[in-house]
Amino acid sequence: MFRKNDLYIEILKFGKDKIEEGIKFSDLIKQLERKRVNINEFRLANLVCSMYVPLDQGKYNWGCTTLKADIPYVLTLESRFRLLEHEELKNANSSSLIATLLAISALIISIIGLYFSRSASNEQMEISKQQLNQSVTINQEQLEDLKFDPSGLYEKLDGIIGNTMQAVK
């Protein structure tokens, strides 16, 4: 059995699909029977009267207080807006659900990235600790390469200064 809101929306959608030619009350009853909706005709007539007006309002001067089975009815402007609001709300709900799922997946990816980054950092720290704990030995050849002999540098500087002084004179 349809809930009241679902029935209300179903009746509005039926009228939206037939906006040009209008709907007939008898067609609406058949449509609801096809969808296995069991509703009292009096209740249905009250619902329809709150949502529809006769297509040719001038010809049928009574408004929608009494439904005729074969007269075409169209949605009122207010009913169209209610249906439009319902459809927009439905679209907004699905969009927010998609946005929520994307945000959750981004959060999960961030957490996984943080885990791998942290484990890589821990591994790098472990390697650094091992390097610090190892003893370092320097052989004599390495020490000789590190020694600096400034005597050759002084001779070159004396030559450059002497050449510059002669060029100035």
List pLDDT tens digits, range 110-160. 999 999 888 888 788 877 777 777 777 777 777 777 776 677 777 778 888
Q: Give CA–CA dist 127/120, Å, rounded.
A: 11
Q: In what order do the strands lie in the sheet with 52-54?
A: 23-24, 72-75, 52-54
Distances (CA, A) of 141 to 3, 23, 150: 93, 103, 19
Distance of CA 155 to the CA centre of its chain: 75
pTM: 0.52
CB atoms within 10 A of CB 67: 20
How does the average pLDDT of the chain come out, rounded?
80
Radius of gyration, alpha carbons of the chain: 44
Q: What percent of the chain has pLDDT over 90?
A: 15
32 compared with 96, residue with greater pLDDT: 96
Per domain, the residue ranges of the chain are 4-75, 84-133
**Band of residue 5 on the pLDDT scale cut at 50, 70, 90:** low
pLDDT tens across 20-64, in order?
Answer: 778 887 788 888 888 877 777 777 777 787 788 877 765 555 556
CB atoms within 10 A of CB 133: 7
Q: Give CA–CA dist 122/71, Å, rounded.
A: 80
**What integer pLDDT is reported at residue 1 of this predicted model?**
45
Helices 4-17 & 25-34 angle (0-180, nearest 10): 120
Q: Provide the token pair at 91.
A: 């679209």
* Cβ proximity of 11 and 51 under 8 Å: yes
